[in-house]
């Protein structure tokens, strides 16, 4: 069997289960997991801390370019580090969810982060997840998955996740915010959220987490056997 490590792109909207799925798929394959949403959240956090407007494209582009970002293991989890600081907890608040969606529409920010992401994906053996990985960041990825689920199911999952993290939210508010973010992420001119033409679309509304992970791992293994 081939030992060549592939590049796997997983894209999809908020609450599709991308992050959990990507993490488990990467662990199963022995690949590195790269959560690109965390990088957009990190830029939003830096803007917030430095009192820079979320629409100041030039300042945020500079921040995105100069910040050193890496993913490191902390216990069983993988956290994002920015300039050596673990900011994982701070980037996961509802405020940073909305702010990251705003800053991610800025071309300067996208250009800087896409460059970092390509560097991280260069040598294969990665499962990279986001919105534009199969279309823009790693169009050469050997396996591309577009993971989705109904808005109601995604809002339900996201509500549970936030409650588990101790964030007080209610389902209706989560559904409204999710629809707002979907609309912004899908309608922006630059790298809108959409499946790559050569991606496999997986609708997880009625699938268990295990079924989704098995399906993607099998896609990767069958590609590995061909190469």
Residues in contact with ligand DC by the rule CB under 6 A: 14, 36-37, 40-41, 97, 100-101, 104, 130-132, 181, 185
Nearer to ligand DC, 33 or 181 (CB): 181
Nearer to ligand DC, 99 or 219 (CB): 99
Tokens found for residue 123 = 């040598």
Residue 207's Cβ-count burial label (10 Å; 0-12, 13-18, 19+) is: middle
Write down the least CB distance from residue 3 to ligand DC, Å. Answer: 29
Q: Crossing angle, helix 36-49 and helix 57-66, to 10 degrees?
A: 120
Nearer to ligand DC, 15 or 219 (CB): 15
Write down the least CB distance from residue 42 to ligand DC, Å. Answer: 10
Write down the least CB distance from residue 225 to ligand DC, Å. Answer: 29
Residue 92's Cβ-count burial label (10 Å; 0-12, 13-18, 19+) is: middle
Nearer to ligand DC, 23 or 131 (CB): 131
Whether 10 contacts 22, CB under 8 Å = yes
Tell how far CA 27 is from the center of its chain.
Answer: 16
Nearer to ligand DC, 97 or 204 (CB): 97
Nearer to ligand DC, 1 or 164 (CB): 164
Write down the least CB distance from residue 74 to ligand DC, Å. Answer: 18
Tokens found for residue 167 = 């964030």
Q: What is the DSSP letter of 76?
A: T
Which residues on adjacent β-strands are paired with residue 144? 9
Write down the least CB distance from residue 126 to ligand DC, Å. Answer: 14
Which residues on adjacent β-strands are paired with residue 33? 127
Neighbours of 214 (CB within 10 A): 15
Q: What is the DSSP letter of 18?
A: H
Write down the least CB distance from residue 135 to ligand DC, Å. Answer: 10
If you search the block for the tokens 């956290």, which residue do you land on? 79
């Amino acid at each position: 069997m081939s030992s060549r490590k592939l590049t796997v792109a997983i894209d999809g909207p908020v609450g599709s289960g991308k992050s959990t799925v990507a993490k488990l798929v990467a662990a199963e394959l022995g690949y590195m997991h790269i959560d690109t949403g965390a990088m957009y959240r990190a830029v939003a956090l830096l803007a917030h801390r430095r009192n820079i407007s979320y629409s100041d494209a030039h300042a945020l582009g500079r921040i995105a370019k100069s910040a050193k970002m890496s993913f490191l293991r902390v216990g069983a989890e993988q956290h994002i580090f920015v300039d050596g600081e673990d900011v994982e907890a701070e980037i996961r608040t509802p405020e940073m969810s909305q702010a990251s969606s705003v800053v991610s529409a800025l071309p300067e920010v996208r250009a800087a982060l896409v460059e970092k992401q390509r560097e991280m994906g260069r040598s294969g053996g990665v499962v990279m997840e986001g919105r534009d990985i199969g279309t823009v960041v790693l169009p050469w990825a050997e396996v591309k998955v577009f993971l989705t689920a109904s808005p109601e199911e995604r809002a339900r999952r996201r509500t549970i996740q936030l409650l588990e993290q101790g964030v007080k939210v209610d389902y209706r508010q989560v559904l409204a915010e999710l629809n707002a973010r979907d609309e912004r992420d899908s309608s922006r001119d630059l790298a809108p959220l959409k499946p790559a033409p050569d991606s496999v679309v997986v609708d997880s509304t009625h699938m268990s987490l295990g079924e989704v992970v098995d399906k993607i791992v099998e896609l990767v293994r069958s590609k590995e056997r061909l190469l």
